[in-house]
Chains A and B, each alone.
Chain A
Amino acid sequence: MSDNASLRDLLLARLPGSGLSAEEQALLRDLLPAAQPLSGRRSGTVYMRSITASGWRGIGPAATVRLNPGPGLTLVAGRNGSGKSSFAEAAEMALTGDNFRWQGRTQVWKKGWRNLHEHSSPEIAVELVFDAGSDGEGAKEPVTVRRIWHGEGLEESRTVVEEAGQTTGEDVHDVIDAEQLSLYRPFLPYTQLGAVINGPLTALHDEISRILGLELLSDTDAAARARAKSLTDTESAAKALTATVIQELSEVDDPRAKEAITALSGRSPDLDAIRVLLQGHGAADEAHLARLRRLADLELPDRPLIAKAVTRLRSTAAVADDARHGSAEDARQLVKLLDAALEHRRRHPDVSHCPVCGTTDLLDRSWAERTRAQVERLQVEAAEVEAAHRELVNAVREVHDLMRPAPAWLQADESSLAALWRDLVACRTVRDPRELADRAERAEAVLGDACDQVREDARRRVTAQDGRWQPVAARLSAWLVQAEAAQAAKPARKQIKAVRDWVRALTDELRDARFKPFADQSGQIWRLLCERSSVSLGAIGLTGVGPQRQVSLPVSVDDADAPAFGVMSQGELHSLALSLFIPRATHQDSPFGFLVIDDPVQSMDPEKVDGLAKVLDLYAQHRQVVVFTHDTRLEEAVQRLGLRATVLRVSRQTDSVVHVASVSDPVSQALAEARAIALDPHLPPEVADRVLPSMCRLALEAAYQDTARRTLREAGVGQRDIQERVTRPGPLTGLAALAMGMRGNAAREVLDAVAHDHGPWARELIQGLNQASHQAPTTPIGDRLALVDRTKRLAKEVLAR
């Protein structure tokens, strides 16, 4: 509904100045229900162009009531049983598929809907015209909603929608929104008038509330309430879970569990402490578990590496020993000696005897060669010994290097292990390879076994602790999620409360503002209807909430408060019903431009009939008001009060042959009054000169208005616009220009067009009437009846355009 869309805009426009925080505003935007797409494919105010029925109730062969599809008052008069109510019911039935008269009736009653004289299938149809409105779509084709019965029951019917003689395939609800039909109720049958007040006022309260179009706000409030409830649920669920978890924790033997209990037991749980605990950095964890974890992860001396180094040490030591105690060392000494001998020979090449033993001819060339070869061999042997020595030094260093001290924390912690570790380190001071190898091997074996045992033990204990802790931690994690949600819920709940307070205040303000015009209209209708009644109606209101809500009708009799229904006559009750129903049916948001009232005159005294005529005239300025009436009192009142109305008369012959004839319309009404005056022989000329032209002008004005409405409507102009342009005060030529579809409205051009269309006499008639009604003293009008006749002729031609 457009109304809801505008309410949404209004609410959003009010938001920045609402005093709500940014979060609260965002929350409210979130809570607003999604915008509803428009239901029904057709738009624009709908008016009725005709009602047709055949084989329906009192109507036998097809009969049609033709209506002017725009604002105006139409009285459909006919005696009881003439079939006029059948038309009213046909219109309602065609559009709603239901009718108040049939609701809750017995089967016997429901059988009476079929006409007794007509044996073909009953059929009813309403021709609708959609106002061009403001969407700029231009003129629209009339749409016919036709309901055809194919069986015996009232329900055995189908409805087709036709446009330009073709079925459109639309459902009737595409054309007429069923919900809006029940909301605004443009049909008011006599039987319902009494039922309005007899029904529960709670229902009336709800229906009027819906008309005020504040559903968006109540929907928003309902959404906010639901959100608040779920938040409260979250909070209480978290609270309940806290108690359960504390209970579970107390059964777990773990320092972390104790810490968690402390964190949970406060007035508001310490979520941060739990978070830290779950990440494994809790205080209890530090002290006890961290040590276990360190022991479990203890880094041992590398046992295979040490074993390998010790083995190497032993073998290098053996090699080095062999080198020292064997020929190698001798070779090194001998090389020195032989080198010296060779040097001696090089310096004394001619001396061949040995300076040591004195043997001659010994140190010859061949001796030199043999000796050189021996020196080379001996040098190789010496190098091997040196290499073995270096190897040994390296092997010792390697073992020393592997004798690493314990980690610092361990030295202070595990004394026995630390002592073993110190034994290992002490090996560094041992220089003798064999001793080193033995001690390193022994120390490593003792320490390694001890470390393996300690580590294994620590690992077992950590695993055991974690095994108990794991489910507890999972539980705590789940608790944390809920507790976090609950923590977030608290401020959110406050936000929702602020939002709801604001929405409620806005609802009250808008309801009062929107209901006021409604109440004012009801009051106005009541005063017009019951001007002379001793019962007076105060300001009606929507009061109470919940089951106490109702429409308050403050009634007083001769200034004394009284219960509404006890003191009212039947006529006054009907007046009250009309006072409540007419503002509703003619509400500005209603898509229905028409209002059908069946027999409102019953049980009304003459005063009220005059008042009713005034009320109908008032609403006919902007609505198509169709009134079905069984007697002539309303018609007389309309004539007496000089109100403009079209009067149709329904008559019924034997065999249900129903005729609808137009007996009066605003043009013929004005012409009849002019003729009555023209026929009065005692009318003084000066009065005739002043009065008759004005009356004839009125008749022409009515004719031009009627045609102008039609022309503008066919040109696609909206009813509101038409009403404004047609009723705007101005010269007759202005209306004539509209009726002839002329763009300009210069008097001369319009008069030329009139002369062209109807002949020069028409131009002279309009000029004469204008002169007479604007200039005084007036020129004599001559033949009075001839003037009225000429006016009638032009009016008829104008209407026939």
Chain B
Amino acid sequence: MTTTTRSTRVLPTDELLAAADRLLNPSDETALSPGVRARAAATLLRLALDETLDAFWRAVSPRMTRSTGRTRMLCLQWYVSPSVARQWYTVWSGLSAACHYHTYDLPPTPAEVRAWHQDVSELLRVLTAARA
């Protein structure tokens, strides 16, 4: 998990989701190929997941934002629920793999990213609720 996005935090998570949504459902002619748009959307979605987990931990124990990604995921199950924690990790892993270039792997399909979009929206809702 990277933490480089924190300095450039300009968009709230819901706007990240909206941006991803626009990439997945372009309204007008766009020069970007579907593969590129899917990968860009995946990046935005992973960013939203990171932001949400950071926000969750900031509310629970601010020092947690400095711990490793695995620690944050493993500890999450004791604060939310094992299934949410595993789901977060699964979606995050999927998105991580999708937003990096692999010579041996094909880019994600828009359908796959669209499904992740749904998962991320659901996770955001659950984690925001748990934080409150």
Closest Cβ neighbor of B82 among chain A residues: A642
Return the CB mask of A253-297 against B: 1 if under 8 Å, else 0: 000000000000000000000000000000000000000000000
In the assembled complex, B101 has its CB within 8 A of some CB on chain A = no
Q: Are B86 and A642 in contact (CB under 8 A)?
A: yes
Q: Are A690 and B78 in contact (CB under 8 A)?
A: yes
In the assembled complex, B128 has its CB within 8 A of some CB on chain A = no
Looking at the complex, which one of A534, A640, A694 makes contact with B86 (CB distance below 8 Å)?
A640
Q: Are B93 and A640 in contact (CB under 8 A)?
A: yes
Q: Are B61 and A640 in contact (CB under 8 A)?
A: no
Chain B residues whose C-beta falls within 8 Å of the C-beta of A642 in the assembled complex: 77, 82, 85-86
Looking at the complex, which one of B67, B77, B112 makes contact with A607 (CB distance below 8 Å)?
B112
Q: Are A532 and B61 in contact (CB under 8 A)?
A: no
Looking at the complex, which one of B74, B86, B94 makes contact with A691 (CB distance below 8 Å)?
B74
Interface residues of A in 642-698 (CB under 8 A from B): 642, 673, 676-677, 680, 682-684, 686-687, 690-691, 694-695
Q: Are A684 and B64 in contact (CB under 8 A)?
A: yes
* Interface majority SS (helix, strand, loop, mixed), chain B: helix
Chain A residues whose C-beta falls within 8 Å of the C-beta of B93 in the assembled complex: 640
CA A682 – CA B82 in complex, angstroms?
22
Report the minimal beta-carbon distance from A464 to chain B, rounded to whole angstroms.
103
Known: A532-B111, A532-B112, A684-B63. A691 touches B75 (CB 8 A): yes
Return the CB mask of B44-88 against A: 1 if under 8 Å, else 0: 000000000000000011011011101100110111001001100
CA A339 – CA B76 in complex, angstroms?
171
Q: Are A677 and B61 in contact (CB under 8 A)?
A: no
Known: A532-B115, A606-B97, A687-B64. A680 touches B71 (CB 8 A): yes
CA A610 – CA B75 in complex, angstroms?
21
In the assembled complex, A641 has its CB within 8 A of some CB on chain B = yes
Q: Are B71 and A606 in contact (CB under 8 A)?
A: no
Q: Are B78 and A684 in contact (CB under 8 A)?
A: no
Most interface-central of A532, A640, A682, A687 (chain B CB within 10 A): A687
CA A640 – CA B78 in complex, angstroms?
16
Looking at the complex, which one of A531, A607, A680, A691 makes contact with B78 (CB distance below 8 Å)?
A691
Closest Cβ neighbor of B61 among chain A residues: A684
Q: Are A607 and B94 in contact (CB under 8 A)?
A: yes
CA A677 – CA B64 in complex, angstroms?
11
Known: A532-B112, A680-B67. A673 touches B74 (CB 8 A): yes
In the assembled complex, B25 has its CB within 8 A of some CB on chain A = no
Chain A residues whose C-beta falls within 8 Å of the C-beta of B70 in the assembled complex: 676
Contact residues on B (Cβ < 8 Å of other chain), bracket: 20 to 34
Q: Are A682 and B67 in contact (CB under 8 A)?
A: yes
CA A682 – CA B64 in complex, angstroms?
7
Chain B residues whose C-beta falls within 8 Å of the C-beta of A690 in the assembled complex: 78-79
Q: Are B111 and A676 in contact (CB under 8 A)?
A: no
Closest Cβ neighbor of B87 among chain A residues: A641
Q: Are A677 and B89 in contact (CB under 8 A)?
A: no
Q: Are A640 and B90 in contact (CB under 8 A)?
A: yes
Report the minimal beta-carbon distance from B40 to chain A, rounded to whole angstroms.
19
Report the minimal beta-carbon distance from A344 to chain B, rounded to whole angstroms.
168
Q: Are A677 and B75 in contact (CB under 8 A)?
A: yes
Chain B residues whose C-beta falls within 8 Å of the C-beta of A677 in the assembled complex: 71, 74-75
CA A532 – CA B108 in complex, angstroms?
12
Interface residues of A in 507-566 (CB under 8 A from B): 531-532, 534
Chain A residues whose C-beta falls within 8 Å of the C-beta of B94 in the assembled complex: 606-607, 610
Q: Are B61 and A686 in contact (CB under 8 A)?
A: yes
Q: Are A676 and B78 in contact (CB under 8 A)?
A: no
Closest Cβ neighbor of A642 among chain B residues: B86
Q: Are A676 and B74 in contact (CB under 8 A)?
A: yes
Closest Cβ neighbor of A639 among chain B residues: B89
CA A641 – CA B83 in complex, angstroms?
9
Q: Are A683 and B67 in contact (CB under 8 A)?
A: yes
Chain A residues whose C-beta falls within 8 Å of the C-beta of B78 in the assembled complex: 690-691, 694-695
Q: Are B111 and A534 in contact (CB under 8 A)?
A: yes
Chain A residues whose C-beta falls within 8 Å of the C-beta of B86 in the assembled complex: 640-642
Return the CB mask of A598-614 against B: 1 if under 8 Å, else 0: 00000000110010000
Chain A residues whose C-beta falls within 8 Å of the C-beta of B63 in the assembled complex: 682-684
Report the minimal beta-carbon distance from A585 to chain B, rounded to whole angstroms.
27
Chain A residues whose C-beta falls within 8 Å of the C-beta of B89 in the assembled complex: 640-641
Return the CB mask of A201-244 against B: 1 if under 8 Å, else 0: 00000000000000000000000000000000000000000000
Interface residues of A in 690-740 (CB under 8 A from B): 690-691, 694-695
Known: A606-B97, A607-B112, A684-B61. A641 touches B90 (CB 8 A): yes
Chain A residues whose C-beta falls within 8 Å of the C-beta of B60 in the assembled complex: 687
Known: A640-B93, A642-B82. A682 touches B74 (CB 8 A): no
Interface residues of A in 610-653 (CB under 8 A from B): 610, 640-642
Chain A residues whose C-beta falls within 8 Å of the C-beta of B82 in the assembled complex: 642
Closest Cβ neighbor of A680 among chain B residues: B71
CA A676 – CA B112 in complex, angstroms?
31
Closest Cβ neighbor of A678 among chain B residues: B71
Chain A residues whose C-beta falls within 8 Å of the C-beta of B71 in the assembled complex: 676-677, 680, 682-683
Chain B residues whose C-beta falls within 8 Å of the C-beta of A534 in the assembled complex: 111
CA A530 – CA B21 in complex, angstroms?
23
Chain B residues whose C-beta falls within 8 Å of the C-beta of A694 in the assembled complex: 78
CA A690 – CA B86 in complex, angstroms?
19
CA A607 – CA B105 in complex, angstroms?
14
Report the minimal beta-carbon distance from A769 to chain B, rounded to whole angstroms.
13
Interface residues of B in 85-109 (CB under 8 A from A): 85-86, 89-90, 93-94, 97
Report the minimal beta-carbon distance from B104 to chain A, rounded to whole angstroms.
12
Chain A residues whose C-beta falls within 8 Å of the C-beta of B90 in the assembled complex: 610, 640-641
CA A198 – CA B86 in complex, angstroms?
37
Chain A residues whose C-beta falls within 8 Å of the C-beta of B68 in the assembled complex: 676, 680, 682
Return the CB mask of A169-212 against B: 1 if under 8 Å, else 0: 00000000000000000000000000000000000000000000
Chain B residues whose C-beta falls within 8 Å of the C-beta of A683 in the assembled complex: 63-64, 67, 71, 75
Return the CB mask of A297-314 against B: 1 if under 8 Å, else 0: 000000000000000000
Chain A residues whose C-beta falls within 8 Å of the C-beta of B112 in the assembled complex: 532, 607
Chain A residues whose C-beta falls within 8 Å of the C-beta of B75 in the assembled complex: 677, 683, 687, 691
Report the minimal beta-carbon distance from A107 to chain B, rounded to whole angstroms.
38
Chain B residues whose C-beta falls within 8 Å of the C-beta of A641 in the assembled complex: 86, 89-90
Report the minimal beta-carbon distance from A535 to chain B, rounded to whole angstroms.
11
Given contacts A684-B64, A684-B67, 10 further A-B contacts (CB under 8 A): A532-B111, A606-B94, A610-B90, A640-B89, A640-B93, A676-B74, A677-B71, A677-B74, A682-B66, A684-B63
Q: List B residues at the A interface (Cβ < 8 Å).
A: 60-61, 63-64, 66-68, 70-71, 74-75, 77-79, 82, 85-86, 89-90, 93-94, 97, 111-112, 115
Leading 6 A-B pairs by shortest Cβ distance: A682-B66, A684-B63, A682-B67, A680-B71, A684-B61, A532-B115
Q: List 8 A-B contacts (CB under 8 A).
A: A610-B90, A676-B70, A680-B67, A680-B68, A683-B75, A687-B61, A691-B74, A694-B78
